[in-house]
Amino acid sequence: MHDPRVLLDPATEAVRKLARRGFDLDLDLLEKLFTRRTATVSAADDARAESNRVAKEVGAAAKRGEDVTALREDARALKARIQELEDQQRTVAAELEEFLLGVPNLPSDESPDGTSDEDAEVVDTWGEPTRFDFEPVDHVDLGERLGILDFARATRLSGPRFSVLRGAGARLERGIGQFLLELHTERHGYTEFSVPVLVNRPTMTGTGQLPKFESDLFRTGVADRELFLIPTAEVPLTNLHAGETLRAEDLPLAYTGLTQCFRSEAGSYGKDTRGLIRQHQFAKVELVRFCSEERATEELAVLRGHAETALRLLGLPYRVVRLAAGDTGFSARVTYDLEVWLPGQGRYREISSVSDFGTFQARRAGIRTRAKDGTKGFANTLNGSGLPIGRTLVAILEQYQQADGSLRVPDALVPYVRFERIAPDGTTS
């Protein structure tokens, strides 16, 4: 969420920047709401000061034995006026907050213009797309032939966009998660958390999923409590410090967790209905970092490097693209997508997004900082996928398939799954 004074400051160029997202900022309405809030706060403060003054007069007059009837009437009128002004203050504050919660983050000027993935800028590549001496198949055909993926039974259980992994497939899924967690905790220094996958409305609001993206979420409840299934561990990991003040000298903080994630995929009807690419439920290792604003650029590079290291260790060719301003997520000011090469599809597909949110999420969630000299501020938050288990499995299946229909396991995963190969009949060795 934004500081309204920053949005109203012409030097911020908020209207121009948000227009690059396709968002029309109503500055006139914002100024009216902000002015009304300021005026009601000032009027309430003045009324409370006057009430205190009158109360002292009542006390002094009573001690002198004077008639205080009129003064007490003034005091009662002032109390009623204060109540009225406080009600007005709450109303306009809620209106202003509702307005600000709907305003996305200001995109960085380094993000290219545009509104789709076609406008993204390729900034780096690693590895060459694999060339086979046979016609590669996609992960669905290969996984079903190996007997490790079962979409038909998943559909019977839950409907489309779900999957069942069997035998070596389930072992691979588990092994990928363990490999990624050990990489990020032992080599990259992240603290691992096990967090709830059901969270409340304030938690979802803190990271920007609500109110705008409620249709993308699965909503449920326990007794009289409203709860949402998380779309990513970014939500609980970031909100671990909601309403807290972090010591500046303790930054940066680096958190990770492996959770199930749930997305309704509203608006994606007909897209990626085949296979593991776009599921309602999927597992993902998330990376979250907290730092000072001054360190944001360096921390984003560090975070991106950690996600890239996972792909490199798995031997998966990829490229890095900087998303266009109009295609950058609601809460992010700049996002890099890592796109892995999928031989079975003959193209690059997104496997990780790495984003810098500035202080946008911290303002919404109330995550503050305090330096040793007493200087206060808001934390800078960043997050990235490090990596999603399903899409990583897709890339491994398509990248490491063999001419005889078998699958070779990446060397980095062998210690976690304890086999090197899945034969065409699904047996491991």
One of 331, 350, 398, 406 is an active-site residue; which one?
350
Q: Where are the alpha helices (DSSP H) in 197-292?
A: 201-207, 234-239
User: What are residue 284's DSSP bridge partners?
Assistant: 259, 388
Q: How far is the CA of 202 from the CAs of 47, 219, 378, in angstroms?
A: 32, 14, 18
The response to whether 61 counts as a known ligand-binding position is no
Q: Is 214 a catalytic residue?
A: no
- DSSP class of residue 190 equals P
Tokens at residue 361, please? Answer: 């999420």
Q: Is 406 a catalytic residue?
A: no
One of 353, 363, 364, 406 is an active-site residue; which one?
353
Are 337 and 329 in contact, with CB atoms under 8 Å apart?
no
The response to whether 286 counts as a known ligand-binding position is yes
Q: In angstroms, rounded to a whole number, what is the distance separating the alpha carbons of residues 110 and 301?
A: 14
Q: Which residues of 220-230 are buried (b: 16+ CB within 10 A; e: fewer)?
A: eeeeeeebbbb
The response to whether 352 counts as a known ligand-binding position is yes
The response to whether 73 counts as a known ligand-binding position is no
The response to whether 265 counts as a known ligand-binding position is yes
The response to whether 232 counts as a known ligand-binding position is yes
One of 48, 145, 174, 278 is an active-site residue; which one?
278
Closest by Cα among 177, 223, 225 to 203: 225
One of 21, 37, 263, 289 is an active-site residue; which one?
263
Tokens at residue 274, please? Answer: 């085949």
The response to whether 292 counts as a known ligand-binding position is no
The response to whether 176 counts as a known ligand-binding position is no
The response to whether 156 counts as a known ligand-binding position is no
The response to whether 350 counts as a known ligand-binding position is yes
The response to whether 234 counts as a known ligand-binding position is yes
Q: Hey, what long-range contacts does 40-44 have (CB within 8 A, 24 or more apart)? A: 40/85, 40/88, 40/89, 40/92, 41/89, 43/85, 44/82, 44/85, 44/86, 44/89
Q: In angstroms, rounded to a whole number, what is the distance separating the alpha carbons of residues 310 and 82?
A: 59
Query: Distance of alpha carbon 127 from its chain centroid, rounded?
Result: 29
The response to whether 233 counts as a known ligand-binding position is yes
Q: Is 391 a catalytic residue?
A: yes
Say which residue the tokens 């009837």 belong to.
69
Q: In angstroms, rounded to a whole number, what is the distance separating the alpha carbons of residues 212 and 222?
A: 23
Tokens at residue 426, please? Answer: 């699904």
Query: Distance of alpha carbon 396 from its chain centroid, rounded?
Result: 26
Give the orientation angle of helix 168-182 with respect to helix 139-146, to 10 degrees: 120
Q: Is 278 a catalytic residue?
A: yes
Q: Is 263 a catalytic residue?
A: yes
Backbone phi, psi, residue 263, to 5°: -140, 135
**Known binding-site positions:** 232-234, 263-265, 286, 350-353, 383, 385
**Known binding-site positions for ATP:** 263-265, 350-353
**Known binding-site positions for L-serine:** 232-234, 263, 286, 383, 385
Give me the active site residues, please: 263, 278, 350, 353, 391
